[in-house]
Every structure is written in structure tokens, then in C-alpha cells.
Structure 1
């Protein structure tokens, strides 16, 4: 029985010498077992190392084990492990149950139970207590220490309550992984296998109290114990260790091991220093790398020596952000492999933030075909199977909410095609259906859309969904069922959906696509979930719980579950972190993320027990996991181990801006390195000419494409010209070059779909609304998408602006027709009756609108109240406007058909036609209600963007001409009325101010009689206009001489007819172009407004005004005089 330590600095060859000695001795003494115990994550690599180093490339009496595997080897021999180990997943589930049961007994923890991460924190603390051998007896001592600390005392009381509840559940059922070593300690003296063994420990930076206790027993019974520890050979092993010293943790471990050996009467052999065996005090790894050797010898040491020689072994590179950082590393790796002959396996990448950097590295390395192994375990939360389970439970707990239903369906595992899911989703979004009762009955509701709702098909999809979910729904809703029943129901859902077979098919597809990571995920996830089900049933199966609790228990298990890793290939770069990742024979190391908070890591406040509380316990000899202060010094040691891994070169990289766009500082280590290495190059990648590196990125494709894109605008470099010639000279790359040139110099020369295709699409005659032609005038492509391809925005279950406009129109129309049927007119209806009728008409319009779904939300109820208020104001204003003139409404929402040409048929509805008749004439005006703020604009009419009013007036005149063949029909005006309830300044004339703000805008026949008929205040008794009158009804006003001012929007009767002719001509022209197949991307731009501003197709048309052939159709702003001349013709 003896203990011997193998000591040495990082890179001195301790492990190599130990393995060599074990191999030699194992060959000479076949009767002795040689056990090499290493951390769990190092077992595979150590096995490879031993087999590779062994002359026979195979071993008979050498075993590589972790502490846990060592325990099971002993258990296999002597027994003692009567109960299965409860893994972390099961531990979390049991803790959730215990905390729920003991909630009333908990002083502080009760209110935190539901907080995300709390159970995880509690699990970590419990594991810590087991690792540090803290039992119920120790709690008494801790409570004495906490007498004057009420918060700590309450915490300890809660921890003890949870601890006792947990242990009570575990008794004679399970043990934790941490308890395994405690049990091993009790029976290890019975192991003959151990007594015939030499036990070696390698790769540990320290041990827990339970492990120390075990090592004491191992020393007593094994032939010999050999342990490697990293420490500077210059360190005095007898002096007291201090936390802040780089090797304080190592020295503490050495002294503890020696004390245990002495307590157990185990002989202590002289330690072996690896440097001494090498015959040099320079670590073996750095014999040919003096700068790296100097770094190892001085990092975190005081005093230190400055290395002032020229060197290129250590470099620092600064980049803009993490992506740029990884991009540099990727390019440099490609250069190292291509130019300096390194293999990928010679290179490693580490960081203090593997989760964030790992994702970026994977993306960048994949793009550049750099093989890599990323050393972190992936969770399963994003796997489709897991998402299906979570969504299925949510369907029950949220009663068929939109999110749960389509979260379930979109997993791709529900057996419903994507097309059918889209169809159902469109329907559900449009109708707002939710709830088991609604889903269990056939859907009957229709909604407005260009295509008819296929209710038969939608109901078949609904039935498939319901048939699969119903058994689960019924089981989870049954409060008499246990967790076993719930789990069985969830399992049965997977059987109905044939999940195992579907996952296998995904696995096979990923294998074919050469994606081993995803293939492994889909290969493992089913078994992981089945194991989780088993644990849930074994641990909590007989318990009753709510749906919410069941979901939380499942979620806890799913969050704990991790995927196994695919071992690194023969020639791959290992990407890992500073603590977990084992690097072997690395020549080049890239240490990324050398920023504050990443290296060294920023640590929290200690978890459930704060850092101050841990320090208090530590000063009273209660040892727990390291405090924040201690962890900071431990991090230094891990950084030292990491930075001394490479043999040839160390790259340190940091970024200046984080993911939130905020400036970040480099780690303090950068400044420390500058102190140690006098000639340390710090290269700012942002300032470098990275042309060469960009060529390395993807064989120059991106670099070549960028040069082509800016060709003619910027001067290309000689390097770019050379690359161009290289691509041109080779047949396989010349094809790529031609495609790049075609793309770079592509000019959009769209000529449309052609007349033949247009006639097939639209027919020989173009039919539609005036709005359709206005859409074409705005952009031909938008018209094609909307009317040719029949594309439309997804209908949503909410009151949108068009819906509100429709309800306003319907309510006003209902009022107008009800008023015509009553004994009253617009002139004499009482105010209170008008308001009652307005409210009733809005109610009717809402009830009739799309199956009356509107009242289903509080938001819609508010909007309805607002619609009522505005409608009351609108009808008040309309009555006032009609009373103030002589025109009377003739019809409302009057349908019309307008035929400007035999190939163009327009139809629509006119909101209101007003007339005034005398003996030989019929005066007509049309009014269009707008819930938006539309303004009459001759410029828009000129370019075809505002044609409705002119068409409406033309249709109204045609109708009246047929109705009154013996009378002249006089075009009197076209107007927009803005439906609104305007806010005005408080004054003594509020209603006057409101009526002014609600004045119609449009164009009036300037005939004096017409003006007098429009607004009685304008006309004088002598047939002339009154002087200095500003109409509050129509856009007309007079000066002091009784003449119309320039601000009046007026035209002669013949000019209004000319306007109608102009619009008809424009409609015919545009209609002809549509039938000729015009689908150009030609959006207009007028001042600050473009056709793209509110276009629903702007994300798919590909229009980019910066590209050749793409450009806005600028509508030149013409003066009113120019417009009148072109539209109305010569005076």
C-alpha cells in the first residue's frame, strides 16, 4: 500500500509518463490490474491514448474508468447496489413532488416553487450536499451558525424540510449518483479485485469530500495509488495553500492526500516530477515554443519575467463582433491547413461561452467545409416529437387554443399534410374558432374571400385532428385518473400517430443528406422520451395531479434530457469550453471570446445560498461548493490549463460589440498578456485588407461576386482580376463565373405574360370594379398578383380597417333606407330618433357582418361603441348638409354597370346619388363615404389613381338619362365625405366647427344655380352668389364681389363631362394593357408616397429601386392649370 504523486506543470508530460509506466508495468505483471480513473468525459479519449501508445495496440489488464464506473465494477464483484440510481431527470421530478407536498411547511421556498429554474437550483443544491457529505446531523451545526441570520436560518430550515422529504421518498427505492460513492465506501474493503490492483487517477484538478473519503479506502486496499496533479515544480509543497495562488487548489489537494495517507498508515513515496524525467525544467510541450513556454512559466505568477524576444507563437486578434471573430478563425484555419500543412485534428477551438459560439462556429465551419466536433450536449426541447407532446398537452390545458393546435400540427408528425394545415389555419385565423366544443362539431361558418371556403375538406382535417386528440383530451380532463393514466394516454397518442416509424424515416433522410448530428438526434429522441415516461410512472405513477402539474412534471423531465454526442472523427477540429473539453496533442489553439464576462466567466450570486452565506459557513468549517471568490481563482487555473494546451501557436480573439449592439471590453487577460509578452501582436481585423482571407472563405466566390456587383462603380483590385482570370481559365469554374456575371449584370426587362396568356387568364373582356383599374394604375405587378393570381392577405379574426369601413357603409345604408320607409325625411327627423336609429342600424350592420363573430372580444366591443359614436355624428352631419341645400337623396348603395368599351365592363355600388329636378333639367351629384381621409386630387385622376367618383357620376348620369329622356341631366358635383367624429377646440360654436371639419371635398359645377342648390347660403335672391361666403358643405367660397375664389374646387359642366371622358379613355387604355398581358414591376412614386407603401405584395415582388431595370414610375406634380388643360381640354 503506497501513494505516489506524478507532479508537473501543464505540458510537462505527466499523463504521458504515467500511461507509459502503466503500459510497461502491465506487460511485466499480468496478474495485477491497472485501473486508470479519469473524469467521465475523458474516458473515451484516455482509452484511445492507451491503445495507441501500447505496442500491441490492445490491453488485457488495464481498465479506464470514471468514479461511477469504478463503483459499479466493485458492485458487480461484491454487491451493495440494491437500488437503481435516480438520474437528474428523475431527481427533478421527485423534488417537484416533494416541494408541492411540503409547500405549507416551507418558510421561504413556497412562493418560489413556480418560478422557472427554481427546481433546477434546488436539485443542484441537493447534489452539492451529497457530494460534500452534508447530512441531517450537519444541519444542526449550520443552524447554530445562522442564529443571528434569520434569512439563512429560514433557508436552512426549508432545505432540511426538502432534504428529509426527498430522502423519505428515496428510502428503499433509489439512490442518487452522488450517494454511489458513499455506498462504495462501505463495502470497498470486500473487493479482492481492488486488492490486486494499482489505481491511477489522472485529469482531476481536485476532489470532493466524498471522493477524498473513497480515496482513503482505496489507498488502504490497493497495491498502489498514483495520482497526477498539475503544479509548478518550484512550488513548496509544505507551505499552507492560499486560494489566490495559481496552484493553491493543487497544493491543497496534495496536502489533503498526504494527510489521508498518513491517517491510514499508507506509505508515501517520493513524488515524481515530469520535468525532472524530461531532463529539462521546460515543459516537454514547449521545448520548441519558447514564447508559449514563457507564458506557462509566468501566467498568474508573481513575480513574473517579461518575454521580450521576437515571437509569433502568441497572437491577439480583435474583431467587430462574435460573427466576425468566428469568420476570422475560420479563414485562418483554412490558411493553416492549406499553406502550413496542419491537419484539422491538430487544431482546437475553445471559448468560455460554448452555447453561443458553438452555434456560430457550426454555421461558419459548415459553410467552409471545416470538419468539427462541438463538445456540448444538446437538449431535446426543439425536437418535433417533444414539441408535439408539449403542444398536445397544451391543446387540452388551453382548450384548443390557436397556438397549441398549430404548434401540434406544424411538427410534421401529426399525419396531416402541410397544404391541409395551411387550409385549416387560414380558416381558424379567419373565424377565430377555439375550444373543444367548437372543434367537436362540424365547422359551418363562411368568411369573405376570393375563393370559396371548402368546408367539406376543412371538416375532414378537423375530424382527423379530433380523432387523434380526443382520447388524450378525455383522459387528461378526467380528474380521477393518476399520472400513470395520463402518461399512458400520451404514449397512446404517439402509437396512434406512428411516431417511432416517422422518426426513423427522418433519421434515414438525415443520413442520406450527410447530417449525422440531426440523424443522431432523431435516432435518440424516441428512446429518451420513452425512458422519461418510465421514470414518471415508476416515481410518481400512483399520484393524482392536475393537467398543469402533469405538464410541469413532463416539462421538467424534457428540460433535463440531453442528447448523447457523436465522438469526434479522425480528422476534426474539437470545439469546446475551458472546463469540460479534453484536448490532446493540440498544435494550434484558438481561444475565442476573450471578453469581460466570458473569460473568465461571470458567476451568479451562489444560487439558493448566497455567496455571503457560503462564506459564513466556510469560515465555520462547513465546506460546500466553491464561493464566487474561490470560483474566480479556480477559473484562473482552468484558463492556465487551456492557454498552455497548444504546442505551436496560441490565437486569442475578442470582439468589440455584443449581440445587443453595445460596446464590450476585452478580458483583463489581454492586458496581462501584454505585460508578460513584450512583443505581442494585437491585430485589428477591421483594419486589415482581408481580400486574401475572403478568398479563403469560399474559394473566392463571395469576393468575386462582390467585385462584379460594384464593377464600373469602384475600381477592382489586381487580386480580383487575377481571381477572375483563374475562374475563366478552367471549364468547371468558368460555368460558375458565367452565372455570376449573368446575375450581377441582370437587368429587369419584364415584358409581361403576353396577350394570349392574359386572355386565358382574364377572358376576352375585362370585368371588375373601378378599384381594380386604380390598382393597375398604381403598379401592374400588384394588379397581376391580386386579380390575375387571385392572391390576397390572410383573413384574420379581427376588425380590420376595411371591416370598419364596411360596417360604417352598411349602417349608413340601413339608416338611409329605413328613413325612406318612415314618415320622416333627412330634413325633419328628430335628433333623438335619429340617434336611436343610428345605434339600431349599427347593431344590425354588426349582426349581419360575417356571421356576427365581431362581439367575441373586448377590443371589438370597444370598436363597436366607437363606430356607434362616429355613425351618430355622421348622420347628424349628413342631415345638416342635406338640409342646407336643395339636393335630395335618390338612392343608396346603388348598383351600376359601366361599359366604357366593348372589352371593358365595370361594376360597383354608388354610396349615394343626390338629385334636384326642375321643369327641364335633372341636376345630379354623387357622394362616396370614406372612413379614411381621401382627398379629391386632379393629379391622381390624371394618372389613373382616383377614378371612382368620375365613373360613379357617369353611371348616375346614364341612369338618369334613361329615366328622364325628356330632360337634360346636369353633372353637378362629385364628393368624398370623410366619416369621422372630429375633435375641435372648445368654444361657443362647437357644432359649427365640427360641421366645417366634416365638409365634403370634391369638384362642383361652377354654375351659379348649381352652387345655390348645393348650399343655400351661397345663392343670393337675385340669382347671383352672395359675397364673402365660405360654404361649410362643399368646397366653394366667394370673395367680397360675389365671385368664386381660387380656393374653390369648381369646373364648368362641360369640363366635368370632359373629365368623365378623360377617365373613360384612361380606363380603356389601362384595360387594353392588362389584356395585352402587362405585369411590369412599375410602382408609382408621387412626392413621399409610393405604390409600395401599403402593398401586401412588397415582400415577394423582388422590387429594388437600386437594381438595374427596377425603378419607380415618378408621377410629375402638375399645376392645377396644366391638369385642367390636359383633362378638360382647351378653353
Structure 2
């Protein structure tokens, strides 16, 4: 006999009847009220009031259930306990659907199933993808990709929540009406879902997503099995806009066990069956319809639908008519007859950071001027991504207590990084990045300084792999070696034990979990995390403290999932690694609100808001809120539509998603009962332009008199709302150490560390050192520095300050970088010169083939010892050495060819150092104002000399080796950015005893000769070869053309032209850049030749610029003031200290050279 269908009664409130039995079916009658009403009509208040009444009437009766979204349970507990007459309760359970399922199984006495958490699910899916990859058709190529397991997990969750079995997917895959690609996808998904469910069955596990099905099945009567004797005193449901088939099943199974039930929905009328899909009621209407139909089919269900009226005098918005108007006419905007006043405001901001700052100022103004509490304000966004960090940073600065309603990812928490690094270290053989990522997690060694020193030495000396399992040795620094070896001996044992467990034999899941737990215990991780939590709490970083306290339990849960999911599987270490990393990447923790009076910050679709007087809605921008429908990854929207046509309706289609956004907009704008403050940005954080959201225009249609305000910074102290604003806007950074600044910092609640951090962030453009401090840093009255350092100062004073004042430097790395390649080539050329001198030969005495052979022998010898075996450490280094050697052979062959034909100069020094610690020649000293001196040091790559016409005079040329074509730039020279070659030439020619040069031409003048500047040149070691159609064409170029590829660029005096290029035919050899007219005269159109007067002017300008720069250095200039030449060339391009500098290259006004 069919049971009597549910009876619909009038929409009026009356007390629940006593529990009776249905006359025809002997099934206990249940009374279910569907409580409807728009936002602010009192649905939650009614539910809370009924629960309070039930608790006061019978504190010890059957359990009462209150179903709410997971994130809302805490707020409901607070709301219930706000009644002073209700001191507490033991009868009520405020639960999410997941916890309801667990509660039902507990009440039935069923054994608690072993549940696999999301991280365990991901690890199993990653293992299955590895096992079944070759059997997949569509997803075979992508199965290995990072993130694929997470996407697959989300899609399988959709299948489970919509109760789609593998068999149904397989049947759909056989449908000829579907595209071939879709059929292939369904076959793959059916195979993977079946394999996953089979894995769970074989291991006796339940997926958390199937828990609701298990609980619903346990409650349903079957043949030979009556309904379990489970009773609940009542059930209330509130806060759900949409419900999945799983949730509907469980609710329908639980309701017959309840004496009464109130199910509340945000819906203004039950008659919406034909409502438009774009209506903001559409998502709730669909859930309501499905639930109503499901309950109507339950035997003995007395169904009542009650709709709460808007009741303007009694609802949430009774004191704010504009908000009342907004709620009533959100679906079809109707103009409000007056201005919204302070009830509805829209503020335009420059960027999201300013939006957050506006929110902070509004919150403080609300608490001071309107007598509000922090808990009476909520800050809502469509998504917290992109906002959570600015919100956290700005609210802390303004001293606003807040709770960020967001699960915090701990995938990169130090404990996760330690574990990931340790696993990779063991699997990949102690590679540097893996090993030091674990060491520097903060959980291995408390003091980072020794680890930094150890890492620096490891990078410089190439320690890697099994080097860490042997004692460290530094032959030339035994004391340092002893310290580092002591540290190594402390660090390695826990990692070595873990590595043995992983690599000696394939471990099972329980063995691996036990090994990781021992590893953590060896490092005393739990105690260290507790210390971190206590320290964070002392610094008022409650969120960080909560994460440190929670992450330990989360990681233990992760190990439990490893133990459960892989209880019998033994896998090699390399197969374990991607499985474990898939689980680690998904770890997150939920944080309980740490205080009662705090601002709630959350996403519109997640946060459950308490009774609010003010809501600040951020991010009303196009493409942000309303959010565009996210594109599905594994199944496209078109494919989902095809499946929907065959009866598999997984999720809302694009139209329903748009309706959902309308609903979220409605919810966000109707949370507050007094004030709504909405903001939007003109540009995003990357300075890309943004337009206002459709909701801004919507609000303007509702309130035609609404004026868009523009956010601005405080114009003066009278507009400052927090002491930090005086620090940030009214006080130069150089005055932050004054007592006034300390007082403001104390008033702002800043710690000394926060103040120090702001001093570092202060605007640097006007910074100067005191002359006394500059003298201490750089030396006085004698400033000793190199030309390259002075060029740094000319390029940017701050760059010089970091390099010469702070003496910062890059880490030395055991790798063949550009600097190492240059050092190798310079060393080979130096030894070539010394070899020639030792043999009593000049460079020109070598034939090109002899020079090639000599360079080859020297290069092989240098490569064996260079950089501690850097060029012999691997095949890449050896290949680099051979390539650099061939390059030098071609270069020297071209040089000796020129020397034998027309270049009359002879090299007399290579790598000539002057003024340095080990230099044989003195520094070049220039007098400064006030009696000081500038002592210039340096090292010249090569010095060439040739006899001049005057007796006791030698022409002098200096060369600077470059790895590519380099030219003398007159503009950069005038501004001091390119002075090295002119300074080297001047310094060498200023020697009192040029005979002190390491070598002079055989039979040359005596030591008392005078050197005369002839030229300065950049020598291109690589050569500039014209492009060809093929490699053979380029390599087969004529010798004359190949030699011209090594043309020297720079400046030279025409007086020395006959000595520089004395070819018999009188035509330019191509070694230098100049040209002759048809009459044989020097052409002035192009080239590097200068008249004697012009060439002499170089040294005059040089001396003046050197003295000027030295004076500015000693005066204390240290501003961040980089130059820009033209449209592209900037000092920052080659700066090694960009991580130290504080400018924004997009907004900084560069010093333009002209």
C-alpha cells in the first residue's frame, strides 16, 4: 500500500504537534516545516529561538541537531550562548553534514570506518595514475603532470556527490551520440574511479566523500532489516543555499528519526517553479524544490511551508530604509526616492591595497564615531586570493583584531618543507637544493648563520652528493674546516637514517610513516613548533601561532593516511616521492577564531556572518565580482552539456553559475543592518587597469543619488585616524630614530622590529651618510678605491654604498658562469705572455700556428687546476674549457698576424696590477680638496708599448678583454660610467718608473723612459662574425675577413696611427676602426681616431670626473639614483644588488643622461 503523500498546510506559524503515528502505515508521523524568507526576515533568529526554547524545556531529552555549513558552526554556538538564560548545553549538536554522518554512525553503534582524508585520496590517485597510465587513452600524456591528481580528485568528488558509479560512466562511454574524445575520457574516468573504489575496498577504507552515503544507507530499512531505533528530539537546518544529492539523501534518511524539523531557506516565496534562471533566487529555488519533492514522497511526512514576510518595521533593516529598499528590489532595481546617506556608500580606490586601507579606516571610524564593536563589522570579498595578504598586513598595522575565515595552506610550512626536502635528499642523492631546503627550514638548526656559512662554502667548493657523508676538508683553511665538519656531523645523522630506510629496501606505508615520525622526533620538531607558537602569540600573531599549533596534528594525520592507504604496498623510493608530494601539496589547516571581539574577514560564498551592523565589501570590479564561470579542466563545458542531455547533470551550467553570482551579490549587500561600504579598484596589484563591477551600476540604479567617492590619503594630521599613518606619511625615514618617532610607534602599537622594518622600507632617494661615517666606511684622508667602484658610484650611489660601504658580495658558486669564463681566459692569456717573455720572444715572433699550439697547451694546464677542478668536474665544464680554448686560439692567431704585418706595438705586461695588496706597482694618486687624496687601484689586462720619434719616449696602449663587442661611449664617459680604460691608460703613463713594467721589448730603451698615451681599446675575444646561410659558410670565411672580426674598438690619437697600423700598402688593416679618404687623409665621418688635442681632452675630463666623484663619496652620497640612457639602458640592468635596493623600476624616476 502506498503511503499517504505529504500534506501541505497554510504558511502560518504554530507549535510543532506531538509525535503521532500515521494511521494507515503505522509509521511515526513527522512534522517538517520549510521556513522561507528573504534576507533579514528572521529565519536564523527563529531557528535559534526554537532551539533555545527546546533546551530550556528539556535539557536532558533526546539529542537535538542543528545542521549548518562547517564554517558556521562556531558562530551559531556563540549566538546560542549569547542568551544569559542559557548557561550551556549538552543535548544540542551543531553539525555539518560530514559530522552528522559520523554522529549517525556513532549513535547506531556502527564501527567507525577508517576514513581517508583528502591528502590520502590524492596520494592514492597519484599511485593509481602511475599504475594505470599506460591503459589510459585520453589522459595518458597528462597523467604525470603536477596537479593532475588534484584535478582528477575534484572530478571524482563530483561523481561521488552525484552518486555516479563507474558502471554508469562505462555505459555513457558506449553512447554513439557522444564525441569520440568524450567517450575516451569517460572510459579513462570509469577505469580510474573503479580502481580507486577497489583500492578503498581492498584496504577496508572509506573515502570522506562517501561517508554520507554510508550513513544514509545505515538509516534506511531494507528487507529483513527494520529502521534502526534512532531518535532525535528535533532538527534545524540553516545556511544552505544549495545541497548535493548526497546531502539530500542523508537529510531524508535522518528526518524520520526526528520528532520535529525546521529547515530554513533564503527564499521570498515557495512559488518559483517557473522563475528565470538569472534570478538571484534561482540557486536556492532549485535546492528547495528538490528537497520539497523529496520530503513530499516520504511516508507520514506532514510538510508545512511558512514564509516570513519582509515586515519593514521589524526586520534586520528597520533602522536603515536604504538597505531595506536594496533588499526588496535587488532583483528588479527601483529608484530610491532619496539619497542613501551613510547607509550605502561606494568608494573608488587606486588599487586593492588602497581598498584594504580604506576598509581599515572605516572600521576604526565606525568603532569611534558610531560606538561599534569590531565583531559588528565584516569585510567580505568574492575570493580571498589576492586580498588575504594585504588584509593581514594592513589590519595588523592599524591594530584591528580580525579573523581570516580561510583554510591556511601549510604546503610550504617549515615542517612540510623540511619533510619534502628530506625525502628529496634521500631519493636524489643529497643534491644541494634539496639538502639545504631542509636544513634552512628552521627546524634542524636554530641559528641560521652557521648554515649560511656552510652553504656558501658548499656552493663555492662544489660539495654535493655523497660528499656530505664524508668528513669535510679545506686544505688551506683548517680552522674553518674543523668548524664546518663539527656542524656537518651534527646535521647529517637524522637524514642519513631516513635515507637508509628509503633506499635499502622498498618500504611499506607503515614503515615509511614510522621512519618519518622517527626523523621528526630526532629533530625534536614538536617542541620547536610549540616554541614558535608561543613566540608568535607574544608578538600578537595569533593566526601564525594557531597554524604552528595545528600543523603538527595535520602532519600526523598525513602520516596516518600514508599508513592506511598503503598498508601492504612496498614501493621504491622514487615511486614514493611523487605520491608523498601529492599529499603534502594539499595540506591545509583551519583556524578557530582566537577572540570574541574581532572583525570577520571572509569570502562571500564561504563565510557565515553573525549579527552585523556594518559590511565592507571589497573588490567590486569587472571580472572579480561577479566572478566569471571557471572553465572546467578535465571535462569541458560543452562535454558537460552533452552529458546533461543524457541525464548526467554534474554541476550547474554556465547560466546557473551566473544566477549563483547574482545570489552572492544579494547576500553580500544584505548582511549589514546599518551600513554597506563597497569599494572597487582602478587597477590591480600589477597596475593593469580594472573597470567597476556590474554591481556598482546596479547600486546606482537602486540609488540614483549615490555619488562615487574617491579614496585619498590623509591630507594632514587632522585626518589621521591611526598613529601609523603619521609614521607612514608624515615622517621622513631618516627621522624614524627620533624620540618622536619612537612615541608614534608606541602609540601605533608597533614593535621595535616593525619600526626597524619600516626604516628599511623608507623612501631612499634623499639618503646621505654623514661625512664622518663616510670617512669611516671608505677611508680618509686617503680614499683608496678602484675605477670600477667609481663607475658604480657614477651609475648609482647606492650601488657603490652596498658594494664598498657594506662590502656586500654575491655568493661564490662552483659553476662556470660568465665571471669564471672570463677569469679562465685572462689566466691563459697571462701565461701565454709569461711564456713568451721567459723564452725571450715577442708575441710577433710566433707564427699563428705556433701561437695556437702554445695557447692549447697552456689552456689544458690551466683547466686542470682552475677553480679547484671546476672545469674538470663534469662533461659540461670540459666542453666549456674546449670552447673557450678554441676561442682564444683564434683570437691570438689574429693578433700575431696583425703584429707581424703592421702593428708595431709589443705587449710588455699582462694582468698588470697597481695599487693593490699584491701589486708590484703603486696606486695612481690624485689630490683632493682639503688635503685629501684619491688612490686608484686596478688591474690592466694588457699593456703594449712602441718606440716614439722622441728619444726616451714610448707610445703606450692599454687593452681590456671583453667576451663580446664593446665600444667606447662618450656620453657614459662624460658621466663617469665608463672610465676604466682611460683611467688605466692614465695610471700606467703616470708611472714614475715605467721601466718597472714586467717586460720591455728586447733591446728597448732604459728604465728611465717616459710613456706617452697612444690608445685605449676593447679587445673582443669572441669575435664578431657576419651571419651566413650555413655553418660551413661562416667557418669558411676568408682569413682576412675572419681576422677583421677581432677589430679593436676604443679611442686612439692620430699621432700614433703609423705605429698602430703601419701596413706597406697604406690601407687600413681592419684591426682598428678608422677610414681614409681617396686622397689618403683620415676620414672624420666615423671611427675611433682623435686628434691629439681631442685625445688629451679625455685625460683632462677623466681627472676632473674622478676628483668630483671622490668628493661626493666622502660627502656621504648614498641615494638610490640609477641612471638611464635612452629608452632601454639603465644602471639597474647589470646591478648585482637588486635584491637589496628598494625602488620600483616601474615607478622610479631615473636620472637621465644627456
Aligned residue number for residue 856 of structure 2: 839
* CA displacement 1:684-711 (0-9 Å, x = unmatched): 436x98668962254650576179999x
**2:320 and 2:1104 mapped to 1: Cα distance?**
86
CA contact (8 A) 2:795 2:977 kept: no
Aligned residue number for residue 1124 of structure 1: none
Match of residue 16, structure 1, among 22, 41, 45 = 45
| 1:271 partner SS | strand
Shift of 1:380: 0.4
Distance 1:924 1:416, change over 3 A: farther
* CA displacement 1:40-76 (0-9 Å, x = unmatched): 2222222222232362433454443333333333333
CA contact (8 A) 1:776 1:1070 kept: no
* CA displacement 1:930-964 (0-9 Å, x = unmatched): 11458699988999984433443436534499999
| 1:896 partner SS | coil
Aligned residue number for residue 1023 of structure 1: none
Aligned residue number for residue 271 of structure 2: 236
Distance 1:860 1:983, change over 3 A: same
Aligned residue number for residue 1021 of structure 1: none
Shift of 1:540: 0.6
Instruction: Give the RMSD, CA atoms, in angstroms.
Output: 5.3
CA contact (8 A) 1:241 1:252 kept: no
**2:727 and 2:782 mapped to 1: Cα distance?**
49
Aligned residue number for residue 770 of structure 2: 750
* CA displacement 1:451-495 (0-9 Å, x = unmatched): 999444344444444334222333333353334444433333322
CA contact (8 A) 2:764 2:1142 kept: no
- TM superposition score normalised by structure 2: 0.78
Match of residue 350, structure 2, among 313, 320, 324 = 320
Say whether residues 1:661 and 2:687 are aligned partners.
Answer: yes
Aligned residue number for residue 6 of structure 1: 35
Which range moved further: 117-126 or 534-543? 117-126
* CA displacement 1:128-148 (0-9 Å, x = unmatched): 333233335644664565654
Distance 1:146 1:224, change over 3 A: farther
**1:875 and 1:764 mapped to 2: Cα distance?**
47
Aligned residue number for residue 895 of structure 2: 877
Which range moved further: 888-897 or 666-675? 888-897
| 1:110 partner SS | coil
Distance 1:702 1:141, change over 3 A: same
Say whether residues 1:896 and 2:925 are aligned partners.
Answer: no
| 1:175 partner SS | strand
Larger Rg over CA atoms:
1
**2:1105 and 2:89 mapped to 1: Cα distance?**
93
Which range moved further: 479-488 or 632-641? 479-488
1:704-853 equivalences in 2 (<5 Å) = 705=730, 748=768, 750-753=770-773, 791-799=808-816, 803-819=820-836, 826-827=843-844, 829-853=846-870
Say whether residues 1:512 and 2:546 are aligned partners.
Answer: no
* CA displacement 1:867-918 (0-9 Å, x = unmatched): 5334433343245336546666667667733488999898978845656699
Aligned residue number for residue 12 of structure 2: none
Unaligned runs of 5+ in 1: 711-722, 1019-1025, 1105-1109, 1118-1131
**1:1079 and 1:127 mapped to 2: Cα distance?**
65
Distance 1:948 1:247, change over 3 A: closer
Distance 1:835 1:586, change over 3 A: same
Distance 1:442 1:242, change over 3 A: same
Distance 1:700 1:251, change over 3 A: closer
CA contact (8 A) 1:913 1:926 kept: yes
Match of residue 1018, structure 2, among 954, 962, 978 = 978
Match of residue 216, structure 1, among 239, 252, 255 = 252
Aligned residue number for residue 628 of structure 1: 654
Say whether residues 1:182 and 2:208 are aligned partners.
Answer: no
CA contact (8 A) 1:132 1:624 kept: yes
Distance 1:1063 1:512, change over 3 A: closer
**1:859 and 1:749 mapped to 2: Cα distance?**
44
Distance 1:780 1:573, change over 3 A: closer
Aligned residue number for residue 423 of structure 1: 453
Distance 1:1078 1:292, change over 3 A: closer
Aligned residue number for residue 385 of structure 2: 355
Shift of 1:411: 1.4
Say whether residues 1:582 and 2:608 are aligned partners.
Answer: yes
Say whether residues 1:394 and 2:424 are aligned partners.
Answer: yes
Shift of 1:992: 8.1
**1:366 and 1:607 mapped to 2: Cα distance?**
38
**2:667 and 2:1051 mapped to 1: Cα distance?**
82
Distance 1:955 1:801, change over 3 A: farther
Aligned residue number for residue 310 of structure 1: 339
Say whether residues 1:271 and 2:305 are aligned partners.
Answer: yes
1:728-1127 equivalences in 2 (<5 Å) = 748=768, 750-753=770-773, 791-799=808-816, 803-819=820-836, 826-827=843-844, 829-854=846-871, 856=874, 858=876, 861-862=879-880, 865-866=883-884, 868-881=886-899, 884=902, 896-898=920-922, 911-912=942-943, 914=945, 924-932=954-962, 933=966, 946-953=982-989, 954=991, 957-959=994-996, 969=1009, 971=1011, 975-980=1015-1020, 982-983=1023-1024, 991=1040, 994=1043, 998=1047
| 1:648 partner SS | strand
**2:1121 and 2:690 mapped to 1: Cα distance?**
45
Aligned residue number for residue 227 of structure 1: 263
Distance 1:843 1:199, change over 3 A: same
**2:1060 and 2:765 mapped to 1: Cα distance?**
60
* CA displacement 1:762-805 (0-9 Å, x = unmatched): 89999998988999999999888767876544333445555444
**1:1059 and 1:281 mapped to 2: Cα distance?**
87
Match of residue 651, structure 1, among 674, 677, 691 = 677
Match of residue 370, structure 1, among 392, 400, 406 = 400
CA contact (8 A) 1:812 1:871 kept: no
| Count of matched residue positions in the alignment of Structure 1 and Structure 2 | 1060
Aligned residue number for residue 682 of structure 1: 708
Shift of 1:255: 4.4
Aligned residue number for residue 916 of structure 2: none
| 1:647 partner SS | strand
* CA displacement 1:105-134 (0-9 Å, x = unmatched): 333333332223322232223333332333
CA contact (8 A) 2:924 2:987 kept: no
**1:584 and 1:440 mapped to 2: Cα distance?**
61
Distance 1:473 1:1040, change over 3 A: same
- TM superposition score normalised by structure 1: 0.80
1:241-640 equivalences in 2 (<5 Å) = 243-275=277-309, 280=311, 284-301=315-332, 305-312=334-341, 313-415=343-445, 417-437=447-467, 440=470, 442-444=472-474, 454-567=480-593, 569-640=595-666
Unaligned runs of 5+ in 2: 1-28, 913-918, 927-932, 1028-1035
* CA displacement 1:1002-1043 (0-9 Å, x = unmatched): 77796xxx987776669xxxxxxx9x9879779999999999
Aligned residue number for residue 1122 of structure 1: none
CA contact (8 A) 1:6 1:14 kept: yes
CA contact (8 A) 1:130 1:179 kept: yes
Shift of 1:754: 8.8
**1:327 and 1:784 mapped to 2: Cα distance?**
34
Shift of 1:518: 0.9
CA contact (8 A) 1:877 1:998 kept: no
CA contact (8 A) 1:1081 1:1103 kept: no
**1:797 and 1:644 mapped to 2: Cα distance?**
62
Match of residue 193, structure 2, among 151, 154, 163 = 163
**1:619 and 1:656 mapped to 2: Cα distance?**
42
**1:144 and 1:901 mapped to 2: Cα distance?**
90
| 1:225 partner SS | strand
Aligned residue number for residue 18 of structure 2: none
* CA displacement 1:512-551 (0-9 Å, x = unmatched): 2121111111111122112211220222143232434322
CA contact (8 A) 2:960 2:981 kept: no
CA contact (8 A) 1:35 1:65 kept: yes
CA contact (8 A) 1:322 1:593 kept: yes
